[in-house]
Chains A and B, each alone.
Chain A
Amino acid sequence: MAPYDLTGYWVSVVTEDWRWRMTTPPKGDYISIPLSDEGRRMAFAWDPKTEGSCKAYAAAGLLHIPTRLKISWQGDDVLKVESDAGAQTRLLRFAQTRDSGLGTRDSGLGSRDSKTDSGTPGARSLQGFSIAEWEPLGPAGAGRAGGGPPPRALKVTTTNLSEGWLRKNGVPYSNQTTLVEHWDRVAFPNGDVWLTVSQYVSDPKYLTGDYTTSMHFKRELDGSKFNPQPCRDL
């Protein structure tokens, strides 16, 4: 049984890094990103004519881009995340059997504990291969005060990525990148429901350390504004 329901429609609300997300920054503007020398060289080599390339919509950059998301279940074990910006699809696979002790498969939320292996990595791709799991909150290995089942949250680890961009101006990440994400859902007292995705990008080639960001999406009542627009497949 999943602790919370992520399905539905969500919209980016860009209150952070606005200039770098709402517009395409100038070439070489990699401020805030811990680029290596090689990464900087690549960033300065970016050709502005390639603006709009699908590389900007690859897994480690996709959620930075102002977009709407449609999240749904694909079968029992795969959470499907579609963006209208760039018309991309990420598949979050609950690949390992887990005995959560939290209840039945069908929670009534439309979400499940994974029971089977949901795929194999295959060829490298823009969206890579994502493994999802409901991970206990808190420090690693800790129990919780008061007993009972530990609260859990969605952790996604993505590998098998092809090269992509962290920003629309070609700030690169390599095919050696690992992307770890925590997907949380909170409901504020005014009734607004938010999805937040905290991302940690590790790239031994173009980054000198983890690149850490967190994006937030507000829940929308329906998909009337979800309007997929393809990226440029250069």
Chain B
Amino acid sequence: MFKRISLVVLVLSPALLAQGPPPGPPMVELVGSWAMVNDEERLIRIDPGPELGNFTGFPLNPAGRQKALTWNSTIQAIPEHQSRPHAGTYSMRGPNPSPHIGEVIDPISRRVIAYTLTGLFENANRTIWLDGRPHPSDAAERLWTGFSTGEWENGMLHVTTTHFKPMFIQRNGIPVSPYAVMHEYFVRHGDRMTLITQIDDPVYLEEPFVRTSTFRWNPGARENPITEVDVADEIPGLRQGDVPHYPLGATHPEYADDNQLPFVATLGGKQTLYPEYVETLRQLPKTVALPTGAWSAPQLPPAPKGRSAKDLARPYRPTYENTGQVEVVPVQGTVYMLAGAGSNITVDVGPNALLVVDTNETAMSDKLLAAIRTISPLPIRYIVNTSPDPDHVGGNEKFAKSADNSGANAFYEQGARVYAHENAYARMTNPKNGTPLPTSLWPTDAFAASLKTLFVTGEPIEIIHQPAAHTDGDLMVFFRKSDVISTGDLFSTDRYPVIEAARGGSLGGVLDSLNHLIDIAIPEYNSMGGTRVIPGHGRICNEIDLVEYRDAMTIIADRITELVLDGKTLEQVKAAGVTLDYDGLYGATTGLWTTDMFVEAVYREIKANTAPWKARLLRNVPAAELTSVASNTTAAGAKRVAAAAKPARKPSGDPLEGKWVLDLFASSYEPSSLLPYRREMVITVDKEETTHAVSSWRRPQGNGSPLSTYNYTAKFDGKPYPIPNWGKANVTLKRVDANTIERTIDGAEIGKETATWTLSADRKTLTVVAKGTDATGVTYASKQIYEKR
């Protein structure tokens, strides 16, 4: 060590030391604290947040629009969706980011090798590498923050980010895929900084999405403390595997209605962003109808050869096919993944031996074994086959005989032990159809139990049988100390589940296995890291990726279930686009397992036994959204359908009658916190009696559900009438004249309020002046201006 230090001193002459670091490209100082300026889209970026159905300003393609329209914000309340930070595609844009830009300095050269961006929502803090390092491989885990590299261009910092987790660009369900590429330019002008962002994601966008944000220099600001969001039970009665969503065909016209916009204009799309659309808007009808068409997922280009930011400037979809090149990826603890050969291989390194999960194809054995030797010279003594598929068991013989196990004990002289479930063993050795595999590939140890445990690599290992999923003999392997799960083909990130019904497979079993995996996997705080998951095919994951996949398959199953219940044929189901919003991630039109084959397998499974799928659908989708299903399934649905079938009531002609919508800009509340973000009243008048229904929305993230509703029927006689389910309150109405109503509400749980309703001369505006005292004694007042719709 001493000699090394002397050598360095000799090499760095005083002349060189005096020069300092060699000049780099032009750069400007960005380090310090910055505060977001919210003078654009304030309502969307902070509270109350974007409304459901407001996709204005986004170049959504049909797949992105379908995903956004079927997103239900209630999903954020299920445990596995709670505590998520905002992805890098949104964290600099969402609620009040106060980023602090710091430097990472190389300890020897003293050069700045990275910037850190901290203070972002729920600690999804970013690192922007400036040292020219390549982006990770396709096998690497994807992160909320993505992976960022930066370079200076004409005084602007250009940042390229890849490797996102699937997330959103705006927190009302507008999606962004894990294959998106984000480019950012940080431009500093004195005490201001402009951030120019381009998100390129052909999976969900018709063209790259560009927006600009402004930050103000904010010296002395302190970052918020790290928030570790606790996961809580927010939905009573929630069951494992419930995935709230809206069905195909959901429209959410409230945003268009409230803002008097043509519905179709609120759905986004490239054409809506350009000046020509101003004139188009004037001519569009106000009807609520979704665009129709036979859409298909865009084809992304193949993967580039390099991994530099320049190579990865445009999105592509990884295929995870056999490239003939094996990549060794450290996962966690003593577990490694071998990628690049098609199906993944898991290697656990113990003190005396290796355990390997799956052995890929026979032809790849030599390369794979060579790769394993770069991890450890220890012998492979244990092999687990997660399924009977040739691309998972083809290397059994060479792997088992790869090490000199002679002398270890009698068993080892035969090679490694090869474990499989007995159903898989039967498929390999004595299939009902086809020919058996060569005996040299057969497992040595088949078992029938649902769980087999080992402790052979210095850690407890659970080998778990998952019945009737991909096949009837699937296994997953859980390394408890390393905290890694190897899933086999129960889970892959690049394809729809391969359901081999002829070999006992089913989507129901796949969903059960995914929910089981989600139960096992525990992320660190804020849905990051924690238990790592090695899929049968694809990249390293954590719980979030499992959840996204489970959600997708559940939603697709629900869509197909609804269509089956509606009597649709297989061809009609395929034409309905039930997988459109996921095809860019998992779909295939060629190969051994196409999207059509997946849809057909699911259709046949659901058609054969509809009842459990129907029950699942009704847990996930609001009954009122399911016209054909709900009508004969739930009381609410039946009531709604019956109401729809009832002949329309003849209007009374009373000027009070109709739908009234609160004008937020003209109304005032004291205290102002009482101002809802939306309020509607529907009034019907039948001679001396009126029915009044009120819906008020105050929920900050706007899921389209009224926070509070009440309705009552009362006469204009000044006598009290009960308001059902509303704080044990009574209402009195008195009609002063044709245009004036006096109303009182009095209830033990809500307090007392008096109000005067006044119709304008043109009877298009209703003004409600109210004042009251709530149940705690606090006074309030309001002047509410309603417009007739």
Co-complex (A, B): yes
Beyond the given A18-B57, A145-B23, A213-B39, could you list 17 further A-B residue pairs with CB under 8 A, ordered by the A residue number? Answer: A16-B57, A17-B41, A19-B56, A22-B272, A26-B663, A32-B39, A68-B275, A137-B187, A142-B29, A150-B28, A184-B156, A189-B310, A189-B313, A212-B39, A213-B40, A214-B212, A214-B214
Residues of B within 8 A of A4 (CB): 154
Interface flag for B434 (CB, 8 Å): no
From B192-200, B381-389, B566-574, B625-633, the one touching the partner chain is B192-200
Asked whether B57 lies within 8 Å of A146 as measured between CB atoms, the reply is no
Least Cβ distance of A193 to chain B in Å? 11
Least Cβ distance of B98 to chain A in Å? 16
Partner of B26, one of A142, A144, A155, A192: A144
Interface size bucket, B side? Answer: 35 or more
From B203-211, B348-356, B717-725, the one touching the partner chain is B203-211
Interface flag for A118 (CB, 8 Å): no
Given contacts A15-B273, A32-B41, A184-B196, contact A152 B155 (CB under 8 A): yes
Asked whether A13 lies within 8 Å of B194 as measured between CB atoms, the reply is no
Within 8 A of A (CB), among B167-199: 183, 185, 187-192, 194, 196, 198
Partner of A66, one of B26, B183, B265, B278: B278
Interface flag for B674 (CB, 8 Å): no
Q: How far is the CA of A182 from the CA of B185 in the complex (A)?
A: 14
Asked whether A15 lies within 8 Å of B210 as measured between CB atoms, the reply is yes
Q: Which of A18, A68, A146, A198 has the most CB of B within 10 A?
A: A18
Interface flag for A153 (CB, 8 Å): yes
Least Cβ distance of A226 to chain B in Å? 10
Least Cβ distance of B384 to chain A in Å? 44
Asked whether A139 lies within 8 Å of B191 as measured between CB atoms, the reply is yes
Could you give 30 example pairs across A and B, Cβ below 8 Å?
A4-B154, A13-B273, A15-B59, A15-B211, A15-B273, A17-B57, A18-B273, A19-B261, A22-B281, A23-B278, A27-B665, A32-B42, A66-B275, A66-B277, A84-B275, A135-B189, A138-B188, A139-B190, A142-B29, A144-B26, A145-B24, A146-B24, A146-B26, A148-B26, A186-B187, A188-B198, A190-B200, A192-B198, A192-B208, A196-B187
Asked whether A32 lies within 8 Å of B38 as measured between CB atoms, the reply is yes
Least Cβ distance of A157 to chain B in Å? 12
Interface flag for B11 (CB, 8 Å): no
Partner of A32, one of B23, B40, B191, B200: B40
Interface flag for B752 (CB, 8 Å): no
Q: How far is the CA of A222 from the CA of B158 in the complex (A)?
A: 27
Closest to A85 in B: B275
Asked whether B261 lies within 8 Å of A146 as measured between CB atoms, the reply is no
Residues of A within 8 A of B496 (CB): none
Interface flag for B592 (CB, 8 Å): no
Least Cβ distance of A138 to chain B in Å? 3
Residues of A within 8 A of B196 (CB): 184, 186, 194, 196, 216
Least Cβ distance of A195 to chain B in Å? 10
Asked whether A137 lies within 8 Å of B24 as measured between CB atoms, the reply is no
Closest to A141 in B: B190
A positions within 8 Å CB-CB of B: 3-4, 11-19, 22-23, 26-34, 66-68, 84-85, 135, 137-140, 142, 144-148, 150-153, 155, 182, 184, 186, 188-190, 192, 194, 196, 198, 200, 211-216, 218
Residues of A within 8 A of B209 (CB): 15
Asked whether A198 lies within 8 Å of B43 as measured between CB atoms, the reply is no
Given contacts A16-B40, A32-B40, contact A151 B23 (CB under 8 A): no
Q: How far is the CA of A14 from the CA of B272 in the complex (A)?
A: 8
Residues of B within 8 A of A186 (CB): 156, 158, 185, 187, 196
Residues of B within 8 A of A16 (CB): 40-41, 57, 211-212
Residues of B within 8 A of A147 (CB): 23
Interface flag for B218 (CB, 8 Å): no
Least Cβ distance of B144 to chain A in Å? 23
Q: How far is the CA of A195 from the CA of B180 in the complex (A)?
A: 23
Given contacts A147-B23, A150-B26, A198-B214, contact A22 B191 (CB under 8 A): no
Closest to A145 in B: B27
Interface flag for B479 (CB, 8 Å): no
The 10 closest A-B pairs by CB, nearest first: A151-B155, A138-B28, A189-B313, A146-B23, A66-B275, A18-B56, A214-B212, A18-B57, A137-B155, A32-B42
Residues of A within 8 A of B29 (CB): 138-139, 142
Asked whether B210 lies within 8 Å of A182 as measured between CB atoms, the reply is no
Asked whether B274 lies within 8 Å of A11 as measured between CB atoms, the reply is yes
Asked whether B37 lies within 8 Å of A189 as measured between CB atoms, the reply is no
Interface flag for B786 (CB, 8 Å): no
Least Cβ distance of B266 to chain A in Å? 9
